[in-house]
Structures are given as C-alpha cells and as structure tokens.
Amino acid sequence: MIQFPLVILSITFIFLLAILLKLRSRRRSLAIPEGQEVYQDLQGKGRILRSVELGISGKPDMIVRKGRTIIPYEYKSTNASSPRDGHLYQMFAYFAILEENYPGQSIPYGILKYRETAFKVHNSSENRWKLLSILDEMRNSDRHAIRNHNNRGKCFRCSFREVCRQSLIKPSGNPQQDDSHPRT
C-alpha cells in the first residue's frame, strides 16, 4: 500500500519538473532575463509608467528585477537584423521612466526582442542625450509630423489618428483631413 502514494508522488514530481523545464526553455527562447518579473504588459493590462521630469510615459512589455538591477524587456512581433531606431528610442525612454520609478536601482541595459533575434540595449549617457535631443526636437516642432509610411494599419493603431492631417484612415466628414501631402 505504501508504494501507491509513492508512485503518485513520483509522477507528480516528474510532471511538475517537466512543466518547470518547459517554462524555463520558453523564457530562454524569448530572451527574457533571469530574475523576478515585477511588471508585465504582454497582454496589454499593465499600468502606464510615467516620468514626470521628462513628461513621457510608456508601458514596457516586461520589467525584470535581479537583486538591485532592473531590466526592461520589449517584444516586437517583426523580424529585424538590427534594432530599429524607433524601438531604440522607445527603450531609451523606458530607461528614463524606470530610473524615476525605481530610484536607487541599477538599470544597465534592456532587452529588445524581435521574432528571431534579441538585442541588448545599453543604458548610457550617450543614449540619454539622444533621448533628450529627440524629445526637444519633438517639443519644438510645429506639431505637424510628416507621415513616413503607406500602411493603413499603422495609421489605425496610431494615437494621433484623430488629429493627423495625413492619416490614411479617413473618418467620415473630417474637415481636418489635409490632402496636400502626397501619400508616400
């Protein structure tokens, strides 16, 4: 009779070990850093994080803490052979936001994961300067960006779609629609 509970216990242990190994393998394949997950927005349910000092906000896909180190993680569903500029600036913004939200913690780098490749993006004073420069440029612009794509899906998901004069999504009766710019 003692053997039966021991068999059940052994099978349960093996099953739990298999689940743990599978989760760990998945975590490695997604290039998620080791540590405790302290924030997650992969399903769009994370709270908006803000930098009051810089007047910016964002929602990284994940934040991992390992000791006193904070690591932002951003997943992109596309492929890329090198990090795209906009995604790098997004990570630079996360560094600034997290430095304000996790004072006294180290944020040495972030992970930018594309479908098949992961990149370690370093948090450096040079990248901070790049972020501050682009923020300054955006704030001092005439607030009329030039659309640089011909993708209706991007326009549909854009947070400026309601006020953009170059949107590829034409709301019915939108008097602000500007057709003077070519659709490139």
Q: What is the pLDDT of residues 167-176, one digit of tens each?
A: 888 665 444 4
Q: What is the mean pLDDT of residues 68-79?
A: 94
Band the pLDDT of 184: cuts 50, 70, 90: very low
Dihedral pair phi/psi, residue 151, rounded to 5°: -120, 105
How far apart, in whole angstroms, are the C-alpha atoms of residue 44 and residue 111?
18
Q: What is the pLDDT of residue 177?
A: 41
How far apart, in whole angstroms, are the C-alpha atoms of residue 81 and residue 139?
31
Q: What is the pLDDT of residue 28?
A: 58
Q: What is the pLDDT of residue 180?
A: 40
Band the pLDDT of 43: cuts 50, 70, 90: confident
pLDDT (tens digit per residue) in 104-132:
999 999 999 998 899 999 999 999 999 99
Q: How many helical (H) and strand (E) elements, i.e. helices and strands, does the chain have?
A: 4, 7
Give me the chain's average pLDDT, please.
Answer: 81
DSSP state of 116: S
Q: What is the pLDDT of residue 69?
A: 95
Domains of the chain and CATH, by start: 25-141 (3.90.320.10), 149-184 (no CATH)
Band the pLDDT of 146: cuts 50, 70, 90: confident
Q: What is the pLDDT of residue 74?
A: 94
